[in-house]
Amino acid sequence: MAPTQLHPNTWSSIQAFCLICGVLHLHPTPSCFLNYYTSHPTNPVLWHSLISQLGNVIFNSFATSYKKFKKRFFKVCIRPEATSYFFDEISWSRFSLYLTKKPRDFKEWPRPAVGAEELDILSFFDTLPRKLPTRKLVGVYAKSSR
């Protein structure tokens, strides 16, 4: 699905996850992030929210309510240093860059399916306290990108 279809709380959790990985020089991957979330899209999907797995909430919600966000869009700007997160070596998109009506449903992302480097990242995130303050983490990211 396109990044613009993600609920703002899901988007902020992704940003917080990437920020922590970046500070520690870890390579964030979708499979690492999705180990902590489930997906239950309804049809048709215009926006989508990932749900923290029960008892394994890494990040608190950025905000309890987003009024009128469904009527708005935001633009995703790709910095040159982040191009590899969006496109592969031959410039193919790593995920949908257009709206998707039927996103993939999953209950759990299996750990055996990830590689050794990803298992190290998951082991690190497993040691962190739960319900980290997403608003503060994303605030640090916003200040550092100015």
Task: Give the closest residue to 36 by CA, choosing from 132, 115, 117.
Answer: 132
Give yes or no for a contact between 106 and 38, defined as CB atoms under 8 angstroms apart: yes
Band (127; pLDDT cuts 50, 70, 90): very high
pLDDT at 104: 63
pLDDT at 124 exceeding the cut of 80: yes
pLDDT at 7: 78
Buried/exposed 62-89: b ≥16 CB within 10 Å, e otherwise: beeeeeeeeeeeeeeeeeeeeeeeeeee
Question: pTM score > 0.75 for this model?
Answer: no
For residue 99, the enclosing domain spans 3-144
Domains in the chain: how many in total? 1
Task: Give the closest residue to 50 by CA, choosing from 9, 21, 90.
Answer: 9
pLDDT at 146 exceeding the cut of 60: no
Give yes or no for a contact between 108 and 38, defined as CB atoms under 8 angstroms apart: yes
pLDDT at 22 exceeding the cut of 60: yes
pLDDT digits (tens, 9 = 90+) for 68-108: 666 665 566 778 887 887 787 887 776 665 556 666 666 66
pLDDT digits (tens, 9 = 90+) for 28-74: 888 888 888 887 666 666 677 788 887 788 888 876 666 666 666 55
pLDDT at 143 exceeding the cut of 70: no
